[in-house]
Amino acid sequence: MRRLILSVALCIAASLPAMAEEVVLGLSSDTVSINTNFDGSEILIFGAVKRDAPFPAEPPMEVIVTVSGPSEPVTVRRKEKKFGIWVNTDAVEIDSAPSFYAVSTSTLMGLSLSETEDVRHSVSIPRAIRSVGAPDNISNSETFTEALIRIKSKSNQYQLNEGTVSVDEQTLFRTSIALPAALTEGDYQTRIFLTRSGDVVAQYETSIYVRKVGMERWLFTLSRERAFLYGLLSLGIAIFAGWGASAIFSVFRR
Amino acid sequence: MQIYLPIAEVSVNAFLLLGLGGIVGILSGMFGVGGGFLMTPLLFFIGIPPAVAVATEANQIVASSFSGVLAHFKRKTVDLRMGTVLLIGGLVGAGLGVYVFNILKAQGQVDLLVKLCYVVFLGVIGGLMFFESLNAIRNVKKGKAPKRKKHNWIHGLPFKMRFRVSGLYISVIPPLIVGVLVGILAAIMGVGGGFIMVPAMIYLLGMPTKVVVGTSLFQIIFVTAFTTMLHATTNYTVDIVLAVLLLVGGVIGAQIGTRIGVKMKAEQLRILLAMMVLAVCGKLALELLLQPTELYSIAAGGH
């Protein structure tokens, strides 16, 4: 009996810190529509911290926001000079890399989150990429993951925005994340972490839906489900355009 | 004006694509080449995924070739008979080429092979054509009559056929072989093959340059239409929005190009094409020889 009471008490104690602070979230929109003139988008993520008790003044609360696009396996290849020309030699398969990943923090990443918590929640960009291991014949396989991050960061597909989450009165927070124009469809998992001295004290998850709409949607579906018809349509347009230009120009010539 | 491409899943400037289509269209009309060997690398450069660029380019070539061939039909500079013979060879070759391509793909290194193919063929063809047309121009200036209808081993082969528009009476075997070879290369390199076809027709078959352009375009239409359907149904990589933007510029360009081509002398036309082919070859060769700024590249999917 005594043991039971103890374990219940432990349970409450363990769950208390998590319950004490809770995230209430708002999004400027939970769907991003990709139409013909889509040229990137900005989403505003804002929220408040709900508390049962007055918050402790120290250590200060930090906020981390991550947005992650659908993950897929990718192959990273490295070029080497052989017989005087540059050819792809080594390749490393990365099991799962998000198509888009953004991390925004209220202060420096290293101050907001401890290494252990990063491993547990996969928050930072290198942790968000899952690579089981390279083939034995390839040394320093981590350079391949670094290359992936470097290339993706260049095109804004991977973003580390330190200090872009503004926190007011230890309660209200807001940030905006720029989605690039080259965006794939899917559910973009959005996570908010509240941390104190590197430990995660509360967590909240939601999804942003990125969808093609209108003509984009129609053409994409057609190309997948009625590929033959789509092919004929493409050829039809090509032939018609070719004939049209010829006809118009022969009118001009007369 | 930015436009989002539904299949390529990137956003690009519409006017840039219209302009590119127009320039390549002009060249296509002038020289009777589909322009794929120029456009495909340009599309890579502006960030279109390679698979989508190759497939969509095939569709765009259909449009510009069709536009060009109509202009040539009006001038009666299409040898339908020769075109059909080449086409039969071309379709057989394209089938073989896709087969070879898949074998090489399974072994990796297909990118390298495609690039090496480009460098070797563009270099050899461009070089030969450049010096030949330079000589022709010199001879014209000196007042020498150009030698034509040389009799060589080709004229000794059986199954002779009369190609009236070309003014030829030769065996069907050489055009068939040319068709097959061009078809194989076209499938591997992802282009219409005009830049190989045109010199082959001029130098191997001895066809007059003016007929060559129209006939080559005629054959290219069918080969690229076939390729487009293959890509659309197996890889789903034809981007119709990209194709429309490119072909609107392309068909207009092709009409202008055909008119410029008619006004120019055959030797000038050939030397210009040779210079263009050599320029593309040089650029690709540099890419292979110089150290790239980024040694790593990303490809979707596992092995």
Rounded distance between C-alpha atoms, residue B24 and residue B14, angstroms: 16
Predicted ipTM?
Answer: 0.76
Q: What is the pLDDT of residue B151?
A: 56
* pLDDT beyond 50 at A16: no
Coil, helix or strand for B198?
A: helix
Q: Cβ of B59 and A245 within 8 Å? A: no
Residue of B nearest to A98 (CA): B300
Amino acid at A250: S
H-assigned helices in chain A? 2-20, 109-112, 115-121, 125-128, 142-154, 214-225, 227-253
Q: Cβ of B67 and A243 within 8 Å? A: yes
Least confident range of A172-186, B142-156, B289-303: B142-156
pTM above 0.80, yes or no: no
Instruction: Kindly state whether A81 is in contact with chain B, defined as any CB-CB distance less than 8 angstroms.
Output: yes
Rounded distance between C-alpha atoms, residue A195 and residue B4, angstroms: 38
> What does DSSP assign to residue A130?
B
Give the gap in angstroms from C-alpha B58 to the nearest C-alpha of chain A.
10
> What does DSSP assign to residue B202?
I
With contact defined as beta carbons under 8 Å apart, do B84 and B53 qualify?
no
Q: What is the pLDDT of residue A101?
A: 92
Instruction: Tell me the two tokens of residue B122.
Output: 């563009």
Could you tell me which of B7, B65, B24 has the C-alpha nearest to residue B246?
A: B24
Instruction: Kindly state whether A35 is in contact with chain B, defined as any CB-CB distance less than 8 angstroms.
Output: yes
Least confident range of A12-26, A59-73, B114-128, B263-277: A12-26
Domain A14-212 fold: Immunoglobulin-like (2.60.40)
Residue-wise pLDDT for B19-54, tens only, equals: 988 888 888 777 766 677 778 778 877 878 777 887
Could you tell me which of B54, B7, B35 has the C-alpha nearest to residue B250?
A: B35
Please state the rounded mean pLDDT for residues A181-209.
Answer: 87
Show which of residues 99-138 on chain A sit within 8 Å of chain B, judged by CB atoms.
none
Q: Which of A155, A157, A246, A251 to mutate to test the interface with B (most CBs of B within 10 A)?
A: A246
Per-residue pLDDT band at A11 (split at 50, 70, 90): very low
Instruction: Tell me the two tokens of residue A214.
Output: 């209108």
Instruction: Kindly state whether B293 is in contact with chain A, defined as any CB-CB distance less than 8 angstroms.
Output: no
Residue-wise pLDDT for B240-291, tens only, equals: 889 888 888 888 887 888 788 778 777 777 788 888 888 888 887 887 787 7
* pLDDT beyond 50 at A1: no
Show which of residues 243-262 on chain B sit within 8 Å of chain A, judged by CB atoms.
243-244, 247-248, 251-252, 254-255
Please state the rounded mean pLDDT for residues A26-42.
Answer: 80
For chains A and B, CB pairs below 8 A equal 188
Instruction: Kindly state whether B296 is in contact with chain A, defined as any CB-CB distance less than 8 angstroms.
Output: yes
The tally of CA atoms less than 13 A away on the side-chain side of residue B203 is 16
Give the gap in angstroms from C-alpha B70 to the nearest C-alpha of chain A.
7
Q: What is the pLDDT of residue A12?
A: 43
Domain-wise residue ranges, chain A: 14-212, 213-254
Give the gap in angstroms from C-alpha B299 to the nearest C-alpha of chain A.
5
What are the phi and psi torsion angles at A22 (to 5°)? -135, 145
Matching residue, tokens 């409450």: A12
CA distance between the termini of chain B = 37
Give the gap in angstroms from C-alpha B287 to the nearest C-alpha of chain A.
8
Q: Cβ of B6 and A88 within 8 Å? A: no
Rounded distance between C-alpha atoms, residue B199 and residue B203, angstroms: 6
Residue A17 makes CB contacts below 8 A (sequence gap 6+) with: A201
Average pLDDT in chain A:
81
